[in-house]
Structure 1
């Protein structure tokens, strides 16, 4: 009985790694001019590789993996920085990182098309539409 539970647990982890919400099994996501390789943790804008810090990539990964879903600053602090609700943190640090990420990814950071501000709700990555062949 214990062996079955362990196998189920391993399979569950394996399935969650290979097919995250909105991320194809290949691990490569293409949104317009942007190409994100989740396996290698690399990002390309056209043919140019974009250098992201670890925090910037983690923030992008959170938003892309849940494209279309907004996250408020506290949720982002929890998922990316690991802060708990009991810890006091300046939520404006999220704004700074979003701004830097937009500066690297967007053609016009002042009018973002990828990382969008949802007034009163937080930030979200535009919904990824998967095309079926």
Structure 2
């Protein structure tokens, strides 16, 4: 799929919602494709070429979590926003923990959804040419281009996790507040009112990959009342 327009795949089984989303995003200048169930959605997602995927959680044939897991195994960088009818903590945490870039609970504001999609796209399109390797405390080294630890290629990061790591690394001299990460990494306006648990869940995932051993964190630390700080080694 080639186009100068941003490309969007909508995987949604409810006809009225699907039709409404297609109309809204076509109006906002997107090139839109759609799927009516999880199996069709996964097939189209695997073919690639989409700037972002809107993925419903509750669908026939294959649920959204299964689709997301398969997408992440195929492409760690694909931007995905999940749509959930329940919006409870369990759904949100599961979706973010599996690598979703964001989530939106139904019923949702169309304007809010458009803003969230635009925020994710700004993040993916404004990625800078960062240094290839981040040298962290405790001898940890992160390969930013291949999204893994340099000495453990099986420990992989999503594109969003890497964006968080790169921002924290660039500001390692101080704790970075959650709200700043939402603004700078996720692309939300400072007054958007987005809950910071999105950040907390991503930090927890990153920490488990950097410091799988239990105990006091030595690489990615939480500063009470200040946010998060990534500790670098002397090489930087």
Partner of 2:224: 119
Q: Does 1:52 align with 2:148?
A: no
- Taking a change above 3 Å as real, the CA distance of residues 109 and 58 of structure 1, as seen in their structure-2 partners, is farther
User: Which of structure 1's runs of 4+ aligned residues deviate more than 4 A?
Assistant: none
- Taking a change above 3 Å as real, the CA distance of residues 126 and 75 of structure 1, as seen in their structure-2 partners, is same
Partner of 1:5: none
Q: Please point out which of 185, 188, 191 is paired with 1:83.
A: 188
Partner of 1:100: 205
User: How far, CA to CA, are the matches of 1:44 and 1:127 in structure 2?
Assistant: 15
Q: Does 1:43 align with 2:129?
A: no
Question: Which has more radius of gyration?
Answer: 2
Note the C-alpha offset of 1:95: 0.8
- Taking a change above 3 Å as real, the CA distance of residues 83 and 109 of structure 1, as seen in their structure-2 partners, is farther
Gaps of 5+ in 2: 1-127
Partner-residue secondary structure (3-state), 1:29: strand
Structure-2-length-normalised TM-score: 0.41
User: How far, CA to CA, are the matches of 2:154 and 2:139 in structure 1?
Assistant: 12
The higher-RCO structure (CA 8 Å, 6+ apart) is 1
CA contact (8 A) 2:135 2:232 kept: no
User: How far, CA to CA, are the matches of 2:165 and 2:151 in structure 1?
Assistant: 17
Alignment of 1:21-36 (within 5 A): 27-31=132-136, 32-36=138-142
Note the C-alpha offset of 1:41: 4.6
CA contact (8 A) 1:33 1:46 kept: no
1:32-86 CA-partner distances (Å, limit 9, x unpaired): 3422233x25331633442111111111111112223211110010111001112
Partner-residue secondary structure (3-state), 1:117: strand
Partner-residue secondary structure (3-state), 1:112: coil
Partner of 1:70: 175
Structure-1-length-normalised TM-score: 0.68
Partner of 2:84: none
- Taking a change above 3 Å as real, the CA distance of residues 45 and 37 of structure 1, as seen in their structure-2 partners, is closer
- Taking a change above 3 Å as real, the CA distance of residues 52 and 109 of structure 1, as seen in their structure-2 partners, is farther
